[in-house]
Chains A and B, each alone.
Chain A
Amino acid sequence: MQWETVIGLEIHVQLATATKIFSGASTRFGAPANSQACAIDLAMPGTLPVLNSQAVDFALMFGLAIDADIPEVSVFERKNYFYPDLPKGYQTTQLEKPIVGAGRVTIETPNGDNKVVRIHHAHLEEDAGKSLHEGNFSSQHSAIDLNRAGTPLIEIVTEPDLSNAIEAVTFAKKLHALVTSLGICDGRMAEGSLRFDVNVSVRPRGSETLGTRTETKNLNSFKFMEEAIIREVDRQIDVLEDGGKIVQETRLYNGDTKIARSMRSKEEANDYRYFACPDLLPVLVTEERLQRLRKSLPELPEARTTRLVEQFALSQQDAQILANDIDLTSYFESVAKQCDNPQAAANWITGELIGRLNSEDLELDNSPIDAGQLGILIQRISDQTISGKMAKQVFDSIWSGAGEVDQIIRQRGLQQVSDSGALEQMVTDVLSKNPAMVDDYLATEENRRKKKLGGFMGQIMQASRGQANPQQVNQILLQKLASMIEASGE
């Protein structure tokens, strides 16, 4: 049977506010355990929540960016369940009246088409704390750190509009680019700033009804998300083809072991007993507020892509990569300005730089080579101080902390040899040492001689330890060979 996959996502986005959603405690990541849990976050008796204005603004900015309906009034509710990292015994969240209504995000599918992914809604809520299950405490215990408790989140819920893992990841990356461009989230997935829950179901191709879905929770990397979806789709198809049934359940995927499992304990009939939180009043969003936010919206990835294509004559593909992350865009713009060669800047960034950052799992912030250095490096290629090949060596050296571009070129004597006298000598030496190759060249028909040039070039570059200016060498070599052809009396 042919199967069709249906995927919907729920994305938890930690908002980049200074303080918690309902308290004035700091949200800084990495502080000592429980040092940023104030009386409100700890649900001390008699404490009360007050809503953070910035969290509201960030949620609304997201809504504006996805062209969503924004209702005038939204309401916080209590979602009741017991868990040690949930101090109040309920999560303050939104259900019936979320702050952001239906919207849309457009993605480009692998075959180049545009696809609209409908956003069902996005709501504001508080994050829970963290439960640690291993540490230097007895194995009979779990330990609770409530620093994260009360960190503002928006939970974005999509319609089940995605059809495969690649689309889901494309969408996820697009969303990442969007929230970081808006400045509402720091985008640090390893720190849990963006977490994806994936709802997956399969159905016979052409079927109108949805299959039973499972939810895989808390995926915090694009790679894990892709793997988890592929594995879950395969699992569901296997189950169905063996005549089994899919059980609606919550699953966890361990990216390190590549093993997914059902969270049995979550399967007990949960009854969250939602009701409007009486400690908070309905949140009114005025048209003035929306106007102010609309004006303050930064340039979004799509607009940036268009601008990069127009302003720098980049390809759509390069521009998209560079526009995805606002920091990367500004990095590119600095490099391009420094070296006055936007295409070269784009090539170096999308190729060498991103490759190295990815393979070493680094954020752009932590790149060992800054925009200024990369700009100078590209300049040194343009002004023929070094060859492109040499430039890669210099890049590596800077990466490993050896110093700055010009310093490295000087210290290691990497300047190209462009002195024509020295180059002529090199060419002459190579030709005289290889009479057989010369004879072979001369014997070759004219229109096939070009292919034979590589052999000479290789030897000359080797002799110059790579420092010879290849264009110049090529020119001299052709002249010398031409005069030999003439001399041979053709």
Chain B
Amino acid sequence: MSLDKDQIQKLATLSRIAIDDATLEAVSERFSSVLDLVDKLQAADTLGVEPMAHPLQTTQLLRDDIISEPNHQEAFQKLSENIHDGLYLVPKVIE
């Protein structure tokens, strides 16, 4: 199975990755090669097989509702150059 360029661009939009037209052909071709690989799954007989979401067969442990995280804002915000009065700045969000 292969995807056309529009489909690849749609996935790129969904994934927020810019793909320029020059590489689109190659991206599409390699993508299709991987799809050929995963399409081998279709031959498997999985009728009635319970999907396995996780290797652990156990259930979630719960945490007590106790504040355990001190304020490390200063350390965290050193990781960004786009801070203003403690806020993270991004290009204007248009709703």
Contact = CB atoms under 8 A, between A and B. Distances in A.
Contacts of B88: 34, 84, 143-144, 146
Interface stretch (B18-26, B35-43, B50-58): B50-58
Nearest to B65: A54
Given A24-B66, A263-B95, A281-B54, A84 B59 contact: no
A141 interface: yes
A133 B69 contact: no
Interface string B65-95: 1111101110011000000111111111111
A454 interface: no
A53 B64 contact: yes
A422 B62 CA distance: 75
Contact of B65 (A18, A35, A44, A145): A18
Contact of B61 (A42, A50, A135, A263): A50
Contacts, number: 129
A388 interface: no
23 contacts: A19-B69, A26-B67, A26-B69, A32-B86, A34-B73, A34-B77, A34-B88, A35-B73, A52-B63, A53-B62, A54-B64, A54-B65, A55-B65, A84-B88, A132-B87, A136-B85, A140-B92, A142-B91, A143-B88, A143-B89, A252-B95, A265-B94, A283-B59
Interface of A: 17-19, 23-26, 32-40, 42, 44, 50-56, 73, 75, 82-84, 131-133, 135-137, 139-146, 252, 263, 265-266, 271, 273, 276, 278, 280-284
Given A42-B76, A142-B92, 13 more contacts: A18-B65, A24-B68, A33-B86, A35-B73, A51-B62, A52-B62, A139-B92, A142-B93, A145-B87, A271-B14, A278-B53, A281-B54, A282-B60
Interface of B: 14, 16, 53-54, 56, 58-69, 71-73, 76-77, 84-95
